[in-house]
Amino acid sequence: MLTVYKKQEKSIDNLTGVLQISDEFEDKPFIFCIGDDNKSNFELLQYSLVISRIYSSLDKNARFSLDSFPVDFLSFAYEKDKDNKSSAVELVEKCIYPYLTKNGNDFESIKKQAIKMNFLVFSKGLQTYEEIELLIKEKLKSNQFKDNEIEEILSHISLTCVGGKITNKKLSTSTTYFVDVNDDESTNRNSSFKNLLTQKGSKNMCGSLKKDVLYIFEGNGEHNLDNYFMNGEYSLSGLAIVIAYYIENSLRGILPISANGIFSYLSDNQFENSDSKTVLSMLDKKLSFLGAEKFTDYDAKLREELDNAYAKILSLESVSNVNDNNKITQILSEVSKRVSDTTYYQILANLGMIEQVDQSVLSRKNDREIIEGIQSLFSINTDIPKKLEKK
């Protein structure tokens, strides 16, 4: 059974920020995440927000509003049923090919749709994508497209492959490979890749891999998501730059994707031998994604605190399953230790635990003003903590 989901802003009604959707994708660009398994798919989806600058720098402060962002962040869970189909078959039949032909079955319409499609894979997710591409080719061929037309259509789709085993299989999709030279599971060319870095006196570099791009860096050698997305001092910035290039390309409809375009974009953002924090700080200032809504520093911090609060609520107990007032009080007491007064007040308002909600008070940016105003303007349910200051 196939279940497709997308990321949205966390809320008291959706503490994880993951929403199950129908198999039919919206007609907007997307980044689709494929990991080793269902758990890896979910983790990769979370990381896709970091490298797409929804969260920025090496903390989790928000910079772009997720709900109004012009790109969807998607992934899936899959359990085989009696049909015993692979996840790739289910994805292509139910989601990917219908999306590709959503605006018409002619060559030009499919090309325009293909450029909105971006895939992010980790490790064995590359094998799933290889099967997906093969199935797309078969469907296009059965619809009388010529080989050169099929190649051109697929070249407009982007694939960012992280820690995937590089083989001699030739993908038609425009691909950028990210490889830790110390990761034995990603490559059997460790020595030659290390020599390239040594000769250049660099911690990271990129080059051509036939028609594609190869980005190599000095990592800790661990074959896991944290090595590539969180601990990788020289990988995170490279991933963010490449994903930014693909997103801009999808939004603007620039044709075609090219290795030279990616090289130029990396070079413009001074990726080489610069630590991720420095590069990302510069990149965040430049990105606009066609004027997508950006948070102010204050709102970014507020969302980070709200996310922490929702995570804490989730870890304690689902509020929707708690009817005992003492339990609710205990949960909120724990949450109050983690967040600012402003955020704590907003949580109470979201929970419907404040009898009246004055929007002018909600919008105030000064924590002290809100605290002083609450006692005089609002009556709070007796079983809810009345002291809103952090403990």
232 in Cβ contact with 219 (< 8 Å) = yes
pLDDT at 268 over 90: no
- For residue 239, the model assigns a pLDDT of 94
Gap between the Cα atoms of 55 and 158, Å rounded: 22
Burial letters 177-189, b for 16+ CB under 10 A, else e:
bbbbbbbeebbee
Query: In the chain, where does DSSP find H-type helix?
Result: 38-51, 87-91, 97-100, 107-114, 125-142, 147-155, 190-200, 225-229, 236-252, 259-268, 276-286, 297-316, 325-336, 341-350, 359-362, 367-377
Q: Give the relative orientation of helices 325-336 and 297-316 as an angle to the nearest 10 degrees.
A: 140
pLDDT band at 170 (very low <50, low <70, confident <90, very high): confident
Largest Cα separation within the chain, whole Å, is 73
Read off the pLDDT of each residue in 366-383 and give the average, rounded to a whole number. 40
Residue extents of the structural domains in the chain:
2-286, 297-377
pLDDT at 61 over 70: no
Read off the pLDDT of each residue in 375-380 and give the average, rounded to a whole number. 39
The backbone torsions φ and ψ at residue 179, rounded to the nearest 5 degrees and listed phi first, read -130, 125
Query: C-alpha angle 310/289/264, rounded to 5°?
Result: 120
35 vs 332 pLDDT, higher one:
35
pLDDT tens, residue by residue, 180-199: 999 988 887 888 899 999 99
Q: Which range scores top for mean pLDDT: 102-106, 279-283, 340-344?
A: 102-106
Q: If DSSP codes are grouped into helix, strand and coil, which group holds residue 221?
A: coil
113 vs 277 pLDDT, higher one:
113
Query: What does each C-alpha distance from 226 to 39, 47, 204, 223, 295 come to in angstroms?
Result: 14, 9, 17, 9, 26
Decide the pairing of beta strands 2-7 and 18-21.
antiparallel
284 vs 319 pLDDT, higher one:
284
- For residue 367, the model assigns a pLDDT of 44
19-28, 31-40, 291-300, 336-345: the lowest-pLDDT one:
336-345
pLDDT at 78 over 50: yes
Helix, strand, coil in percent for the chain, rounding step 5: 45, 15, 40
pLDDT at 40 over 50: yes
Q: Which two tokens stand for residue 53?
A: 């600058």
- Its CATH architecture, for the domain 2-286, is 3-Layer(aba) Sandwich (3.40)
Gap between the Cα atoms of 366 and 310, Å rounded: 22
Gap between the Cα atoms of 99 and 126, Å rounded: 21
270-284, 357-371, 375-389: the lowest-pLDDT one:
375-389
Listed in sequence order, the residues at least 6 apart from 147 whose beta carbon sits closer than 8 Å to its beta carbon are 141
11 vs 97 pLDDT, higher one:
97
Decide the pairing of beta strands 174-180 and 212-217.
parallel
Q: What percent of the chain has pLDDT over 70?
A: 82
27 vs 304 pLDDT, higher one:
27
In the DSSP assignment, the letter for residue 116 is T
Gap between the Cα atoms of 168 and 163, Å rounded: 16
pLDDT at 298 over 50: yes
